[in-house]
Structures are given as C-alpha cells and as structure tokens.
Amino acid sequence: MREAVKRLGRTGIAMLLLAVASAPADAQTPMVAPLSGPDEPKVAPVKGEDGLYHQSWFAVSFLDLREDLADAHAKGKRFAVIFEQNGCIYCTKMHTEVLTLRYINDFVRENFVIVQLDLWGAREVTDFDGAKMSEKKLAERWGVMFTPTIVFYKDGPPPKGIFGPPLEVTRMSLGIGTFTFYDMFAWVRAKVYERDVNFQRFHIARMNEREAAKKSSKSN
C-alpha cells in the first residue's frame, strides 16, 4: 500500500480528490461518505440456523433479483448480492469485525439493499434474465468461487434478457480490510466509478487523507 501511495504521488492524489469534490452533486449522485465515524455502539450480527451470520436489515426477499433491484432503486439505494457459506472465516470476520463498527454498518444499511445468498444453497433464485435456479447454480453461473463475494450492481432497471457482468459495477471478494470494505461501498454509492473506474486510486487517496488526519490530531 505504501509503495502504491508513492507511485500515485501527491499530485495524483490531489487531482483525484479535487475531481471527486468538484463533481456536480444531484439526487442521483450522493456526496462521498466521510472517511470514518464512531465505532460505538457496536452492531452484533445474528447467526441463523443455516450457520451464516446475518444483518437484521438484510433484504427479506422472494429472491427475484429483478424485483430486489427495482426495490433498491425505488428506495433511492444501491443494490448488491453477497455470497457466503457456513464455516467461512472471512465471512465471520466481515460480520464480527467490520460490519460491527457502527459507522460502517449504518452507512451500508442506509444506502444499500443487500440480498444474502448461500454459495451451496438450494433456495430458488430468479436471475435478472428470468432464469430460475438454485443459489448454488446461480453462483456457478456467475463464476463465484470464493466467499464472501459481494457483487455490486449498476443503478436503474436492467435491460431485458441480460445477466452477469454487463449489469455489474464491480466485485469484492475474500479477506476484506475494514477501510477497503467501507471505501468500496462509498465508491459505489457516490458513483465515483463514472468519473474514474480505478477504485485503488480512490482508496489510496482516502487512506492518505486518514493518515494526514491522524498525524494532524497527534500534533495538536
């Protein structure tokens, strides 16, 4: 990470931050999320009978992804699908170490509709093109091999008969650091990808800001 910051350089970071800050804001393009917030009070996940940890605000869904995406759009939120599996260490850490932080949990809950699926699950899911299959078959169809995998979707209704990568913004998988997780949700929510598709530039810039703020607070 430090080498990446050096390669990017102060000029590149400053230009990115200026571009994000000066981009026109409207109802469809929210402002970028704050760098951090209060950790407390912590948010405890619930472990279900399926062995997976759940957030109380995860979507209660009939698993028709077209309807779920439409619901997110109607609420002014973004849509994401998360694949997990029983016994997944990284899934557990995501719920008990990352989403337990109040500011992250609040931001994701307030800005996203998330459908949680089991990588090996048997529940029937309707894909965006109308095809019906089990959670397991859907994971295979989408090429999901690791957990957790979070798939972020573009805003608005999908074209008929289309599924997969053409509808996606990006994916985030496996061991996810706290700030990487948070910044990815912030990047998607504010549609920064429409101005710069390189998430790492955005993430590095925010990490640099955090480090500067930390040094400033110590000096004061």
Residue position matching structure tokens 């710069």: 196
pLDDT at 28: 56
Domains for the chain: give ranges and CATH numbers. Answer: 1-23+196-220 (no CATH), 35-194 (3.40.30.10)
With 80 as the cut, is the pLDDT of residue 176 above it?
A: yes
- For 8, residues 6+ apart whose C-beta sits below 8 A from its C-beta are 201, 204, 205
Mean pLDDT to the nearest integer, 210-217 = 90
With 90 as the cut, is the pLDDT of residue 208 above it?
A: yes
| Ranges 27-41, 52-66, 116-130: which has the least confidence | 27-41
pLDDT at 159: 87
Round to whole Å and give the CA distance between 206 and 186.
11
pLDDT at 25: 43
Round to whole Å and give the CA distance between 187 and 107.
12
Taken in order 91, 96, 102, 106, the sign of the CA dihedral is: positive
pLDDT digits (tens, 9 = 90+) for 95-126: 999 999 999 999 999 999 999 999 999 999 99
pTM listed for this prediction:
0.86
Helix residue ranges per DSSP H, 75-220: 89-93, 102-111, 135-142, 178-189, 199-219
The Cβ of residue 153 has, within 10 Å, a number of other Cβ atoms equal to 22
